[in-house]
Amino acid sequence: MAIEKFITTISRVVPIPIEEIDTDQIIPARFLKATDKKGFGDNLFRDWRYDKNNQPIADFPLNNPKYSGCILVGGKNFGCGSSREHAAWAIADYGFKVVVSSFFADIFKNNVLNNGVLPVQVSEAFLAKIFAAVDANPATELKVDLVNQTITLIATNESEGFEINAYKKDCLLNGFDDIDYLISKLPEIEAFEKKYKG
């Protein structure tokens, strides 16, 4: 059950310049009743995307035809709140491959990584630049290069490096997942247990 391999991505972006976007907004609790991982994309940002009568709110970025692409850009402390992995499934299911922010909540970061979506943490300044560039020209493209760990505003060639731990990077590049890895380590885990439980 490997995840999809991550390759260098060049794409337009969907900007949501709001801070503290919590996972209750990304996927409200009432949509957590499914027992598989599919279909959550339909309800991604449900309450910001649709009004009370289920009509799309025209100027919400996901509904605005100006914006497209597989890179989601959000304000600081993206993904805070509940640990629900459904938020990551919704983002992946919608078709995003990359989420950019100046700060990610811990559990969320792990969750997207475990679903083949790359969280790219940039500086406040660079984030502001992305928002400004997309505001000026919605067709602005970003390039995300995982091998070299860089993110670039293509039009101006402005670039910034980002961090990712070597193990996770390897997993994404090769489409491995942690569970296969842990299963391969079961003998070691059993040996540890023996010692630990005495």
Partner 1 sequence: MGKTLFDKIWDAHVVTEIQDGPSILYIDRQFIHEVTSPQAFTGIEARGRKVFRPAQITATADHNIPTMDQHLPIKEYLSAFQVEKLKENCARHGITYYGLGDEYNGIVHVVGPELGYTQPGMTIVCGDSHTSTHGAFGTVAFGVGTSEVEMVFASQCIMQPKPKRMRITINGELGKGVTSKDVILYILSKLTASGATGYFIEYAGSTIRNMSMEARMTVCNMSIELGARGGMIAPDQKTFDYVKDRKYAPQGADFDKAVEKWKQLYSDADAVFDKEYSFDATDIIPMITYGTNPGLGMKITDKIPSLASVDPATKETFVKALQYMGFEPEQQLLGKEVDWVFVGSCTNGRIEDFRLLAAMLKGRKRAPHINTYIVPGSYLVEKQIKEEGLDKIFAEADVELRQPGCSSCLAMNEDKVPPGKYCVATSNRNFEGRQGPGARTILASPLTAAAAIITGKITDPREFL
Residues within the interface to partner 1 (CB under 8 A): 1, 17-20, 22, 24-25, 28-30, 32-37, 47, 52, 75-77, 80-86, 88, 103, 105-107, 110-111, 114-115, 124, 165-168, 177-179, 181-183, 185-186, 188-189, 192-193, 196
- Residue (11 or 31) nearer to partner 1, CB: 31
CA nearest to 26, candidates 65, 56, 62, 68: 62
Question: How many CA atoms does the CB half-sphere of 158 hold within 13 Å?
Answer: 13
Residue 87 beta carbon to partner 1: minimum distance, rounded to whole angstroms: 9
Residue 147 beta carbon to partner 1: minimum distance, rounded to whole angstroms: 15
Residue 57 beta carbon to partner 1: minimum distance, rounded to whole angstroms: 13
| Backbone torsions φ then ψ of 49, nearest 5 degrees | -90, -30
Residue 116 beta carbon to partner 1: minimum distance, rounded to whole angstroms: 11
- Residue (69 or 88) nearer to partner 1, CB: 88
- Residue (7 or 179) nearer to partner 1, CB: 179
* Contact in structure between 116 and 3 (CB atoms under 8 Å): yes
Q: What's at 20, amino acid-wise?
A: E
Q: Give residue 95's Cα distance to chain centre.
A: 10
- Residue (67 or 103) nearer to partner 1, CB: 103
Q: How many Cβ atoms from other residues are within 10 Å of residue 106's Cβ?
A: 10
* Whole-angstrom distance, CA of residue 169 vs CA of residue 148: 11
* Contact in structure between 99 and 40 (CB atoms under 8 Å): no
Residue 155 beta carbon to partner 1: minimum distance, rounded to whole angstroms: 25
- Residue (37 or 143) nearer to partner 1, CB: 37
